[in-house]
Structure 1
């Protein structure tokens, strides 16, 4: 059974109540410390933010006490801060463990998907269910270009419809125009944006279209190369450092699953091409066997100049040297990617060669071209 995690859940109603209780205690304690030190601080929204604020408070109280302030005035508050930090660390450890378990539970069914495109079609929904986030954007990285692919949200509000409309009219963006995403490509790690409007790394059109108040992002990196990104946010609350870590955990796991699916798809493609090539060889051998019988039974046809068998033109005049190399590799069952590696050219160049070969030979598909090649060369 899949585990779906929503923000604020830490293992049932008791966990959620404990979370709210610690946040309330922490906010009251921070107000008390402000009264003692006169130093104001921002509002905290989650246990991780509260724990970070309390680390600063410990230093402030220690500084006040070392400066001659009476220990009786600050000692009790400092002890309360330490006790609350201990409870927060325990809560955060349990929440992190539960959320990672939820991600692993959601990745499980994806491992059974064999088709890469089907995987891409399911990943956004899996992030929402497993990571406890409200909206997810999947995008591709192709060379130096960023391409939005798909988004999914827990509801269909007007803001989400506007965002999807923007995705449809934004086919690609130069990666150089996206500082945050370019940084993730270099670092090969996740990112969190807590103040999008004031963060110079943010791609403004994306922010304007999505109306995100904060978000987390993680690269998808099968084989260690960034091929896409997951961006995610919440519609009512800011994201946290734990959200970033959870999304990163999902992205790493999904990258491995996607890599396996791509390799399996390539193996299936190569297997089908090998089968086609073997079938073409079998047809050629059958044709040669029949031709030998006919020649053996008709010496006149072998000697005479007026035989009815027409001579096929050789391959060389019609195909270039490179096209002959490509066709020879095609006959071995090699895929376009394998041919590209063998000849040290791009896959796109191989595709162009294959198209020209089929056109010149009048073949409808690779198997027919291979059949002609084997018939003429054998």
Structure 2
């Protein structure tokens, strides 16, 4: 775990497992191979809920025979530990060998692990397994959403930079008014600019207006900016954007831009 957003998610999950899930102790750990790195923990007490971050002091190897090893290799639903399969390091953190562990998946990859233990004198039961399963899915969705957000921002930034570079190059050529041997720049052959590759197969599936909208989306324009550029209403733009996304099979603008610009060489 590296980002502040990821740390916030881990802390929130641990606190929710205590306050809403009713567990006595909860630990979120990052996973690297078979190395488990506890990152955040929370516990219930008579004085309320306390929580803390970790910085590598509690890392351990989930070797064969431990419930953590089975959890990482199976990447399935929550598993219940016992005296024979509880990992000593985690049992020490949870003050119990009677705990439940669940892998956290993002894009089919195990990126983390949740541990919970019941609040004494209660014991873990089937309902606790079901409850942790709900948090397991929610945590995976939260981390996946965060990862895809970073990808979308990267695509958006790359597209904006490419469009800006093309516009700047075009501006320099248009403004260049020089004369060589009596031939002005307007008469001379201007080298062809390299622009982002466009998937023309996508344009063939769109109407003329939808193509105009798609090109402006690729330039990073907002719905309001597109409406102003095309002299139409914002609601009309929204309708066109929805149709464009549906036709090209994109779930959002960033994916539409990626499909439109990344595959141009195949369809021209």
The verdict on a shared fold, with TM-score over 0.5 as the criterion, is yes
> Conserved in 1, the CA contact under 8 Å of 2:101 and 2:113?
yes
Residue 182 of structure 1 and its aligned partner are, at CA, apart by 1.4
Q: Secondary structure at the match of 1:239?
A: coil
Mapped pair 1:247 → 2:247: no
Give the structure with the larger strand fraction. 2
Deviations 1:62-84 (A, max 9, x none): xxxxxxxxxxxxxxxxxxxxxxx
Residue in structure 1 matched with residue 104 of structure 2 by the alignment = 220
Deviations 1:210-233 (A, max 9, x none): 422521111112333322111011
Q: Of 23, 37, 41, which residue of structure 2 is paired with 1:147?
A: 37
Distance 1:149 1:170 in 2: 10
Mapped pair 1:276 → 2:158: no
- Tell me the TM-score normalised to structure 2 length: 0.56
Distance 1:232 1:209, change over 3 A: closer
Distance 2:165 2:113 in 1: 43
Root-mean-square deviation (Å): 3.3
Runs of 4+ in 1 over 6 A off after TM superposition: none
Q: Of 6, 10, 28, which residue of structure 2 is paired with 1:120?
A: 10
Residue 155 of structure 1 and its aligned partner are, at CA, apart by 3.7
> Conserved in 1, the CA contact under 8 Å of 2:102 and 2:114?
yes
> Conserved in 1, the CA contact under 8 Å of 2:11 and 2:41?
no
Q: Which runs of 5+ in 1 are unaligned?
A: 1-114, 303-327, 333-378
Q: Number of residue pairs matched?
A: 179
Q: What are the equivalent positions in structure 2 for 1:114-193 lying under 5 Å apart?
A: 116-155=6-45, 167-170=54-57, 172-176=59-63, 179-187=66-74, 188-193=76-81
Distance 1:272 1:215 in 2: 44
Distance 1:236 1:144, change over 3 A: closer
Residue 177 of structure 1 and its aligned partner are, at CA, apart by 6.3
Q: Secondary structure at the match of 1:152?
A: strand
Structure number with larger C-alpha Rg: 1
Q: Of 172, 189, 193, which residue of structure 2 is paired with 1:287?
A: 172
- Tell me the TM-score normalised to structure 1 length: 0.41
